[in-house]
A and B are shown apart, each in its own frame.
Chain A
Amino acid sequence: IAGITQAPTSQILAAGRRMTLRCTQDMRHNAMYWYRQDLGLGLRLIHYSNTAGTTGKGEVPDGYSVSRANTDDFPLTLASAVPSQTSVYFCASSDSIQGGVNVLTFGAGSRLTVL
C-alpha cells in the first residue's frame, strides 16, 4: 500500500540523548515535511524539503535537524533531546510545495516522550 512509513511508533528517551525519527515514502512525492502536534496547538512545521538535496526551516526548527539524501527518505534528528520536545511527530509529503492543490499525505506519527 502506497504511503508514508514512520518509525518508531513510540519512544521514551532520557534528556540529552540523541534520537532519529525515520520517515520513508513510496509515492515519489517531491516535497516532505516534519510537523509536531501538541495538545491545544495546531500542527507546527519543524523542517521541510522541496526536493531531494534541499531542506528548509519551518516554524519551530530549533533543536532539530533533517537531511534529504534521496526522494524517499526524510529523517528527523534530535541532537540532544529536552523534555519540551515531548510531542507527537508527523511526517508528511506532497507532490509539490508551491502551486496547485498541495494536499499532504501524513504518516501514522511517532509519539516521543523525553524524561
Chain B
Amino acid sequence: GQNIDQPTEMTATEGAIVQINCTYQTSGFNGLFWYQQHAGEAPTFLSYNVLDGLEEKGRFSSFLSRSKGYSYLLLKELQMKDSASYLCAVSNSNYQLIWGAGTKLIIKP
C-alpha cells in the first residue's frame, strides 16, 4: 500500500527551530509537497522537492532523500503565527497526491 507517516503533534518555543519529519512509501515518485493549514482554514502551498537536497525559502526549508523515502520541513525563528498543521504529500507515478494526516505544531511563548 501507499502511506505517508508524520508525527501527530509537536510543540516548540517561539524563536526556536523545529524539524517536522515525513516518511513515505508510494508507487513511484514525482515530487513531495509541504502545505501549511491553519485551524479552520484551507491548506496553502509551502514547498516542493523532486531532487535530493535542501530547498530554502526564507525561514522555511525542506529536505528530501529519495533513497530513504524521507523528507523534513525545517522552520527557523519560530513565530506564534507558525502554529498550524503541516501536511506532507507525495505525487506518485500516476501524479496522484498521497497525503499524510498532518503534524499539528504548537508554538509556546
Which A residues fall within an 8 A CB radius of B? 40-45, 90, 97-99, 101-109
Contact = CB atoms under 8 A, between A and B. Distances in A.
Nearest to A109: B42
B43 interface: yes
Contacts, number: 48
Interface stretch (B10-18, B76-84, B94-102): B94-102
Given A106-B44, A109-B42, A42 B91 contact: no
14 contacts: A42-B4, A42-B87, A42-B100, A43-B89, A43-B97, A98-B95, A101-B50, A102-B91, A102-B97, A103-B33, A103-B48, A104-B43, A105-B45, A108-B42
A97 B40 CA distance: 26
Contacts of B101: 40-42
A94 to B, nearest CB: 10
Interface residues on B, range: 20 to 34
Interface centre among B4, B31, B41, B99 (most CB of A within 10 A): B99
A107 to B, nearest CB: 6
Interface of B: 4, 8, 31, 33, 35, 40-45, 48, 50, 87, 89, 91, 95-102
B42 A90 contact: yes
B99 A42 contact: yes
Contacts of A99: 95
A101 B97 CA distance: 12
B99 A102 contact: no
